[in-house]
Amino acid sequence: MNILCGIDEAGRGCCAGDLVVAGCIFTNDLEVEGLNDSKKITQKRRDAMYEAILPATKNHIVVISSKEIDEHGISKCMTKALKEIQANLPADNYLFDGNTTFGVPNLETMVKADGKVPEVSAASILAKVTHDRNIIQASKLYPQYGFEKHKGYLTKQHIEMIKEHGYSPIHRRSYKIKALEPTLF
């Protein structure tokens, strides 16, 4: 039997909050209905699927803080997370959603795998739900930023909140935000 570990991330493109990378291997015949790219499923459905995925899989979720991202860079953090998943989830094949392996050996990639391969879809849901729960928790500490609405991604509202309040402790200061850069005029 060929064991496949699906891997996906959530939060890589955010300017605030954690990067979450999840790996998933199905371990039994429990059917998880409606698996798909986590971005194509409502939050309520993702939360329910998260609870269904946990008992149906061996999984490993890596959470990397914004501070660690600032210290080491997003690529090194991705490399670390991918290697940690491989170390904790022995499998015959590892499939990561996207088009780069971040230099990690024994890792295949596939663009849009999160919508095509059940193991990657499951990992996508675990990563997204974990990321969103963490940033919603942070929104209680820093309510002025509206993290619960934009989940740390750069929206017009988020930029305005940064302009008004400055950076919070969970913002990634190493990310250059053009709208916040000083101009000559």
Instruction: Summarize pLDDT for 85-113 with one digit per residue, the tens.
Output: 999 999 999 999 999 999 999 999 999 99
Q: Are 128 and 38 in contact (CB under 8 A)?
A: yes
Q: Are 164 and 184 in contact (CB under 8 A)?
A: no
- Look-up of token digits 């934009």: 150
Instruction: Summarize pLDDT for 6-40 with one digit per residue, the tens.
Output: 999 999 999 999 999 999 999 876 667 788 888 88
Expressed as residue numbers, the domain containing 14 is 4-180
- d(CA 76, CA 103) in angstroms, rounded, equals 10
* Residue 117 within a domain: yes
- Look-up of token digits 């914004």: 66
* Residue 106 within a domain: yes
* Residue 97 within a domain: yes
* Residue 185 within a domain: no
pTM: predicted TM-score of the whole model, two decimal places: 0.93
Helices and strands (H and E) in the chain: how many: 6, 5
Q: Are 96 and 109 in contact (CB under 8 A)?
A: yes
Which amino acid, residue 66?
S
Which amino acid, residue 151?
K
Instruction: Summarize pLDDT for 32-91 with one digit per residue, the tens.
Output: 778 888 888 988 999 999 999 999 999 999 999 999 999 999 999 999 999 999 999 999
* Residue 67 within a domain: yes
* Residue 35 within a domain: yes
Looking at residue 21, which CATH number applies to its domain? 3.30.420.10
* Residue 9 within a domain: yes
Helix axes 43-56, 118-141, angle to 10 degrees: 120
* Structural domain count, the chain: 1
Q: Are 147 and 138 in contact (CB under 8 A)?
A: yes
Q: CA–CA distance from 115 to each of 62, 67, 111, 151, 168 (Å)?
A: 21, 31, 9, 21, 34
H/E stretch holding 53: helix 43-56
CB atoms within 10 A of CB 113: 22
